[in-house]
Structure 1
């Protein structure tokens, strides 16, 4: 029963995203034009400020708008429709995130292998620093581990020397981290508690890092595949738990 408000909030947010996206496509707003204020959008859609802010965040992730602090939100030049683009505002459910994880298993497994072959000493030092930051956030329970998590995967992609690996992951942004798109409490519950869950993620990252340091491509691929497959399995169990509660 506790999940009902969250589901309703996600539904309201998606309704606002869909409506604003359609208004943008119909030319109601021009490139560089400021969108209505949060208060005006709240009144227009009859929803809370939280819903409006989440909707704007998804439009930002999709590259449709940008928010300038203290000024407002502005419409961006539309991207070329022929470009490969994943619509992150549509990644809403555990099933959506698991589908993204399936894509990432193929993409990042090979990226880890290439990174092991091509990484520089400077990139190894950067990866070490990112992992140390992640560990500190976990131990201090600051809630900022997501930043380090994203940075780790992006840097592994950069270490391939092939910018397209990095470009695709960067396009996904924070959506590559499952707990930012679904009920992280459900995932943590399956792991026992949030700290233990993040500690396990950290150990999986360390396995990937150590293989890259050794320039062991096969081990790097295996470690990345294991890490992402474990994430998918954690999500699957969490989805089952939420379904039982519902």
Structure 2
């Protein structure tokens, strides 16, 4: 009976995370709330959260609660199969793919962007800069910045590619959620802001080589940061 209750609760929370009702970085309902809402014991709640942790959907921090992580991308687009992004290896492959695609998109954006697209890129950068301390907002704003670069390329296939990958292409570093890592996470966030600004500035200057280099550096650093955040602590 307990096993069924655990599975039911885990399924409900899993669906909320995958469907985006609970966004990456957002805090899950407290144990007491889940106990009250589902009429289950604390043991059931903790077992369900443990199951979601094992699936990579939840990170629990003692004294702070449980937070949603980036769910795997398993939805197909029309006529195109999108590979799941469920493991660290998948994420690294995705970052390598993005490096090839988005580096060229940034170069094209430097050559082809319109004034309106440049303003949209600046707005996306400002929104991301203001999202510090709000992981769910930061993830969405990060994605919108990259979409703005793709749109500025003038080639709709770049925009279509990023739209197919969806917001899941942005990794949610666990360091953003960890107690005692606030300064570490803030340093990372500030660095990403600088990298985004370098990309925007090169596009604004019409310097395609600098824009490509800035995007490649940003994604290479993203890969390094992801590997560091995914490394188990001693």
Aligned runs of 1:42-61 on 2, under 5 Å? 46-48=8-10, 49-57=12-20
1:206 aligns with 2:197: yes
Pick the aligned partner of 2:116 from 112, 122, 129: 122
Cα displacement (A) at 1:43: 6.7
The structure in which a higher percent of residues are helix is: 1
**Unaligned runs of at least 5 residues, structure 2:** 21-70
User: Structure 1's 142 and 239: CA in aligned 2 closer, same or farther, altered over 3 A?
Assistant: closer
Q: Following the alignment from structure 1 to structure 2, what is the Cα–Cα distance between the partners of residues 113 and 226?
A: 13
The residue that corresponds to 1:86 in the other structure is 82
Cα displacement (A) at 1:107: 0.3
1:236 aligns with 2:234: no
Aligned runs of 1:140-155 on 2, under 5 Å? 141-143=133-135, 144-155=137-148
Q: 1:19-73: CA deviations, max 9, x gaps? A: xxxxxxxxxxxxxxxxxxxxxxx8795442212323445699615xxxxxxxxxx
Cα displacement (A) at 1:196: 1.8
Instruction: Give TM-score scaled by structure 1 length.
Output: 0.64
Q: 1:195-240: CA deviations, max 9, x gaps? A: 2211111100000000000000000000000000000011122233
Q: How many residues align?
A: 179
The residue that corresponds to 2:97 in the other structure is 103
Task: Report SS of the residue matched to 1:178.
Answer: coil
Q: Following the alignment from structure 2 to structure 1, what is the Cα–Cα distance between the partners of residues 151 and 90?
A: 25
Aligned runs of 1:126-205 on 2, under 5 Å? 126-138=120-132, 141-143=133-135, 144-179=137-172, 183-185=174-176, 192-205=183-196
Q: Contact 2:174–2:230 at 8 Å: present in 1 too?
A: no
Q: 1:157-205: CA deviations, max 9, x gaps? A: 01111111111111111112111xx634489988952222111111000
Q: Contact 2:199–2:215 at 8 Å: present in 1 too?
A: yes
Instruction: Give TM-score scaled by structure 2 length.
Output: 0.67
Q: Following the alignment from structure 1 to structure 2, what is the Cα–Cα distance between the partners of residues 186 and 118?
A: 38
User: Structure 1's 207 and 163: CA in aligned 2 closer, same or farther, altered over 3 A?
Assistant: same
Q: Contact 2:127–2:141 at 8 Å: present in 1 too?
A: yes
**Unaligned runs of at least 5 residues, structure 1:** 1-41, 64-78
Q: 1:69-107: CA deviations, max 9, x gaps? A: xxxxxxxxxx65xx33323xx212222111100000000
Q: Following the alignment from structure 2 to structure 1, what is the Cα–Cα distance between the partners of residues 217 and 178?
A: 17
Aligned alpha-carbon RMSD (Å) = 2.9
The residue that corresponds to 1:217 in the other structure is 208
The residue that corresponds to 2:52 in the other structure is none
| 4+ residue segments displaced more than 6 Å | 58-61, 186-191
